[in-house]
Structure 1
């Protein structure tokens, strides 16, 4: 499929959902849905190859979760709306969740303001330090100080609850190497949970995530693998920090989740492979959707 056809597919995805719910005050838009490494190419056109970046527009505020390469695409879309104020929340600083930040064009423009939140890393590094360090030589030619927008940094700790106007944001620890943090957003009785880069426990449900996802309208869940891949005796994925769609269904059912979003697709999973996953998930949890770039999901 050509780049022009790919752009047309993305535009159709956006338009079809926007027309269905044109006035919703709580919407989720997916700008990057892939895990580990960007995977562009003819086999990933329909679901997308950019790494993690999810935008939530809630009651007039713009919240951005993670800064993978999808953040670059979001940034381009914001150029027509400047000046921009947004709130950015990072789950952790593995490369696929921060690699879009140096290419986030609105951050380089005066008049924009970004409130940036993240947990302290196990080694004591703040999110500000980690974003700063990835833009230092020899890794990157332009330091973060070149960004002319107003960047405000805040430290969060798992278990913290904060208010952003009338939006309640709860946080919780996720089971991931070097730690990660999940987020629960509640506004006017509606709730969405962003829980990516988390690995299930073999003998029990993760109590932190179960609490975070309780009775949520939408749960965005890291289902990088299938059970078959995770337990493959020749190439097991145990300990890699990611989960499966089967475990996502278990969590969604136990937590009373209304809609499950399968997220953080493995870079080796083609569009055809993910189509099969969609069909399989629907047989056991009908109100489930696989995340696609450009998809807009109303929280209703």
Structure 2
């Protein structure tokens, strides 16, 4: 195990999009929605608060007091629905720095997390959380420095707007780009910039090309991409490790196994995100 000063670990707690899908056919990849943890140097970063955040929170209870930075890509339900069940936020002396892009209507990430916990949607308000919650508004292109860790942001192509993140530390980088739709005639420059020569690229691969372009049930305009487009980005950006993420809830374990085989045939260093997957990013000498 690396010392706190030189560690760079990525762990997946929720890998699904749209809605949780627990069941016998999703056991191996998992059914919780988006949540990825990065332990980088002395810092703990969490990306998105889907139902995977509840599971992460349970694992953190024995560590109190806890300090972490929680970055939201956007506030669609599958990315925030775990926050009301994030147990460490209810514990005094725990500190969470919470970041997000204001919505097009001006609503801050604090307002949106607050509003989902109001009656009749939830029995207790956000104010019941006794942890120290500090909220920060981000703008696309803004850079956040957390100790020796740098977090770059970039705008994604998603209804209601979303942010992608690039985490850099010790000469290495990991990129979290989910809920973004590719363009029909070009690669997204914002995504390419974030992904440039990344050690790990975690990217939205909700659909296959066949599903996306299906004339009877087209997914064009829905705000998500395909694994084939993820490979194109990884190739163009000279990415070392590609991780396909935000699996469609209708994709069972067998279907995802097939996608994995097809993706590896094109880009050998491909993984499919699954709950419990841990990636160690080696720190440069």
TM-score interval (norm. to shorter): over 0.9
Q: Specify the alignment match of 1:164 in structure 2.
A: 146
Q: Would you say 1:63 and 2:41 are equivalent positions?
A: no
Normalized per residue, the structure richer in helix is 1
CA distance in 2, matches of 1:73, 1:162: 26
> How many Å apart are 1:299 and its aligned residue?
1.2
CA distance in 2, matches of 1:208, 1:106: 34
What does the per-residue CA deviation read over 1:142-192, in whole Å, with 9 as the maximum and x for residues that have no partner?
000000000000110000012111111100000000000000010010000
> How many Å apart are 1:95 and its aligned residue?
0.1
- Residue 25 of structure 2 aligns to a residue in which SS? helix
Q: Which runs of 5+ in 1 are unaligned?
A: 1-21
CA distance in 1, matches of 2:277, 2:63: 20
CA distance in 2, matches of 1:192, 1:299: 8
**TM-score w.r.t. structure 1 length?**
0.92
What does the per-residue CA deviation read over 1:194-229, in whole Å, with 9 as the maximum and x for residues that have no partner?
000000001000011111111100000000000000
Q: Would you say 1:47 and 2:29 are equivalent positions?
A: yes
> How many Å apart are 1:79 and its aligned residue?
0.8
CA distance in 2, matches of 1:65, 1:37: 17
**TM-score w.r.t. structure 2 length?**
0.97
Match of 1:239 among 193, 209, 221: 221
CA distance in 2, matches of 1:143, 1:162: 29
Match of 1:277 among 243, 259, 264: 259
Q: Specify the alignment match of 1:211 in structure 2.
A: 193
Residue correspondence of structure 1 range 148-297 to structure 2 within 5 A:
148-297=130-279
Q: Which runs of 5+ in 2 are unaligned?
A: none
After TM superposition, the runs of 4+ consecutive aligned structure 1 residues lying more than 3 A away are: none
Matched length? 279
Residue correspondence of structure 1 range 96-175 to structure 2 within 5 A:
96-175=78-157
> How many Å apart are 1:94 and its aligned residue?
0.1
Q: Specify the alignment match of 1:85 in structure 2.
A: 67
CA distance in 1, matches of 2:103, 2:41: 31
CA distance in 2, matches of 1:100, 1:56: 18
